[in-house]
Structure formats: structure tokens, C-alpha cells
Amino acid sequence: MLELRAKCECCNRDLPVDSQDAFICSYECTFCRDCVDNTLRGRCPNCSGELLQRPRRLVAEAK
């Protein structure tokens, strides 16, 4: 199962499971939209992989 990390690894912003602003790489490194667009330019700083919008879960399912 995909690990939905709760914070941006760059700025520590909260990213709830239903957030539309969460992005991940293939290793599940997690970043917010602002960091992806303005700081990281769409690439993971850990593996250089592409950062894509993370799938969302309904809040009720995440509990």
C-alpha cells in the first residue's frame, strides 16, 4: 500500500491524505505543490525522479 506521508519533506507543510497539493516520486518522497513548482522544479532532490500528484484517499478510509 502507498505510504501517504503527512508533511512536505522540503518545508514541513501539512499534507493530509485528501490534499490536492501533495506530490510524490516513485520512492514516495513527499512534497507540497509550492516546493515542487518553485524550489524543486518537478524533480525529487533525493533520487532525481519525476514528482507527480499523489493519489488521494477519502478521510474516512484513512482512519
* β-bridge partners, 43: 50
Which residue ranges form the domains of the chain, and what is each CATH number?
A: 1-57 (3.30.40.10)
* β-bridge partners, 41: none
Query: Residue 2's pLDDT is what?
Result: 87
C-alpha grid cell for residue 15? Answer: 499534507
Is 4 a residue whose pLDDT tops 70?
yes
Is 63 a residue whose pLDDT tops 60?
no
- pTM (2 decimals)? 0.88
Helix/strand/coil for 29? coil
Is 14 a residue whose pLDDT tops 80?
yes
Helix/strand/coil for 50? strand
Query: Residue 1's pLDDT is what?
Result: 83
**More reliable by pLDDT, 60 or 36:** 36
Q: What is the pLDDT of residues 33-45, one digit of tens each?
A: 999 999 999 999 9
